[in-house]
Homo-oligomer: A and B are copies of this chain.
Amino acid sequence: MKMDPADLRRVNVFKDAPEEDLKLFVEKGIVRSIEEGEFFFFQGDPAAYFYVLIEGRAKLLQTSATGQQVNLRTITEWQMFGALGAVRENATYPATAQALEPSTALAIESSFLKEMMQNRPYLNINLMQLMTSYIMEMQERYRELATERVERRIALTILRLAAQIGKRTEGDGMTVELPLTRQDVAEASGTTMFTVSRVLADWERRGLVAAGRERVVIRNPHGLVQISEGLDQ
């Protein structure tokens, strides 16, 4: 697979990188394609590479001692992931990265990013901004999980996922489509498959979404926002 260095500028961290830096990253990078369900890396592996997703979608998940999973983040095209290894010495990935659909990513050695950061302030600034956005999102989600009931959490999750990985589909009105299983949504909202199924069925009755196999179509975003804010009853 050939990659145009200029494409890398779509990655937020590289948005103001000079052409020659982009070239270096592309040259240093290895393109890796994996199938749906396969893994870019596992939690606990030495974090030797960071990745830029070029095509597809993926999720970052953590597994508990008992094997239960939670979804920490979903990754879409031109997002960077697994970059913590460039900051900490001898780091291991704190999460597992799994493809939600056939996906391609550029893998670049963490040490190279680290080296580049030595004398490129833009990399530092952008990476820090990325990190602060993670911190804020995680803090918010933590609060939600601690204080909100399931229905609201699911609404918040669906809206967040729609913003992150949703694809606009034409058709009647504005709809957003998400290629997610009930299990995925459950893991992202801190509940179970069963509860997600029941909540979605209810929403479908109320005309808010259309739920299919591995698919959620948002028909009425405003209604979902209302639920997420607790304004519905």
Interface residues of A (CB under 8 A from B): 62, 64-66, 68, 70, 72, 84, 87-88, 91, 94-95, 117-118, 121, 124-125, 127-129, 131-132, 134-136, 138-148, 190, 229-230
With known contacts A66-B147, A147-B64, A147-B68, A132–B190 Cβ distance under 8 A: no
Known A95-B139, A131-B135; further 7 A-B contacts with Cβ < 8 A: A68-B147, A70-B146, A70-B147, A84-B136, A94-B139, A127-B128, A138-B138
Q: Which residues of chain B have C-beta atoms less than 8 A from A190's C-beta?
A: 145-146
Set B70, B117, B148: member contacting A142, Cβ < 8 A: B70
Q: How far is the CA of A139 from the CA of B132 in the complex (A)?
A: 14
Q: Which residues of chain B have C-beta atoms less than 8 A from A66's C-beta?
A: 147, 230
Contacts A/B (CB < 8 Å), 19 sampled: A62-B142, A64-B143, A64-B147, A65-B230, A66-B230, A68-B146, A68-B147, A70-B142, A70-B147, A72-B142, A72-B143, A87-B128, A88-B132, A94-B136, A95-B139, A124-B128, A127-B128, A141-B142, A145-B145
- 5 closest Cβ pairs, A-B complex: A146-B190, A138-B138, A131-B131, A68-B147, A64-B147
A145 touches B147 (CB 8 A): no
Set B95, B125, B131: member contacting A132, Cβ < 8 A: B131
Q: How far is the CA of A95 from the CA of B88 in the complex (A)?
A: 26
Q: How far is the CA of A28 from the CA of B117 in the complex (A)?
A: 28
B138 touches A135 (CB 8 A): yes
Q: How far is the CA of A78 from the CA of B195 in the complex (A)?
A: 44
A142 touches B142 (CB 8 A): yes
Interface centre among A132, A144, A145, by most chain B C-beta atoms within 10 angstroms, is: A132
Q: Which residues of chain B have C-beta atoms less than 8 A from A148's C-beta?
A: 64
Q: Quick one: closest B residue to A124, CB to CB? A: B124
